[in-house]
Structure 1
């Protein structure tokens, strides 16, 4: 696979594995991952060019509801810029059903604190999700240089110690589906189309998930904002339906 066709290409293997593992763990926190969801998780891991060891860990994170797996991923991300992308994705997930209560916000703040994200940084990420949605811009436009400046957030992010370039590169709710669609249609690595082309057929498998994403605005960009990879992988579940599951997992009480 060409370097330009890799997800998270500027990060180390453990960072990429931890980020995708956390995404997989959170998306399946309240249910056992379906075969379709696991296929998507595996393809994400392959598109990030993970080592076999890291790919296995990502898949395990999607299969097991475990405090240990999620905590392991979050601990690795504490020193990575990807922690900001992860919290942004969780916030987007929480807001995707049009509901974002104070309790939900506090729960996500606990996850942010675990990642050593301070209150100011969290507030800016929360504001970014809101403003990107209110802007009416498509997902692709949100990741373009200059978008944060247009929102009046670029200098604020930099002052708060948030790497804006890393933030947008890690927003897999936008770039993930587009790259996977390219790969599976033969635009990326041809072997994936030949070896796993069946996943594009019918309404099942990754083809079905990408079709649902396109219908809901992910790839066709009908809906504004940054989207959420967790939302895409969660089988249509909302953050509010999970209640306190994620904070409880981190406390080891699941």
Structure 2
């Protein structure tokens, strides 16, 4: 049986930092639920990270002060995965079709903290806009060729963003269908039943507007059950000031 491995080509520390940041942002101002911890653990398994990194990711999902998130962001400053994280944050913030000034400011502050410059940020924002309105199968949105079809591949290359690295990191860009397959597969490999947990994944996204509204799935949105960006903004505000 073919297995899906995510975040291939990145170091154990980079993968742990990316998933830790995702987990921390998705569970802002509260501890992760049991279901969320199952999602997060399955993602760790799909990324094939070490037990040490997995423990750090779980800690990030349950830690409320933002210190764990800050550690993850500091690691991602030196990784191409920072572009993937910023893109997923934008998709998460826009998912409810209410991307307000405060949300925009928090996403931009996070982008600045990671060392993403204005030109790069604008291109990542343009990508989420075009990806959301482009009517192609979700599987196609996970391929580097999708950037070319949007006319963004060369622009990103000129801006210092590696298209192949960006798409490998963007777990959320392909939407919940691919993510559901990755996660349920990881759960099966762990000897658990993935079908009951992920059977209604598509419905969860539809009900929360993550696909209906923005047309671009967000990994953070999936982990948070579509709770929205407001609590996340508070967490980011604490660590960025």
**8 Å contact from structure 2 (residues 25, 232) kept in 1:** no
TM, length-normalised to structure 1: 0.84
1:196 paired residue among 172, 175, 192? 192
Which runs of no fewer than 5 residues in structure 2 stay unpaired? none
**8 Å contact from structure 1 (residues 124, 157) kept in 2:** yes
1:152 aligned onto 2:142? no
> How big is the shift at 1:217?
5.5
* Partner of residue 227, structure 2: 237
> Pairwise CA RMSD of aligned residues?
2.3
Helix, strand or coil at the partner of 1:227: coil
Whose radius of gyration is greater, 1 or 2?
1
Helix, strand or coil at the partner of 1:33: coil
1:139 aligned onto 2:170? no
> How big is the shift at 1:72?
0.4
Which runs of no fewer than 5 residues in structure 1 stay unpaired? 202-206
* Partner of residue 52, structure 1: 51
Question: What are the Cα deviations for residues 189-238 of structure 1, in whole angstroms up to 9, with x where unaligned?
Answer: 4xx2xx322x544xxxxx1xx233222369xxx75743101001113211
Helix, strand or coil at the partner of 2:228: coil
1:83 aligned onto 2:73? no
Helix, strand or coil at the partner of 1:138: coil
How many residue pairs are counted as aligned between the two chains?
233
Which aligned segments of 4 or more residues in structure 1 are displaced greater than 6 angstroms?
A: none
2:183 paired residue among 177, 180, 185? 180
* Partner of residue 211, structure 1: 199
CA, structure 1 residues 37+249, in 2 after alignment: closer, same or farther (shift >3 Å)?
same
**8 Å contact from structure 2 (residues 26, 232) kept in 1:** no
> How big is the shift at 1:100?
0.8
Helix, strand or coil at the partner of 1:89: helix
> How big is the shift at 1:104?
1.2
TM, length-normalised to structure 2: 0.88
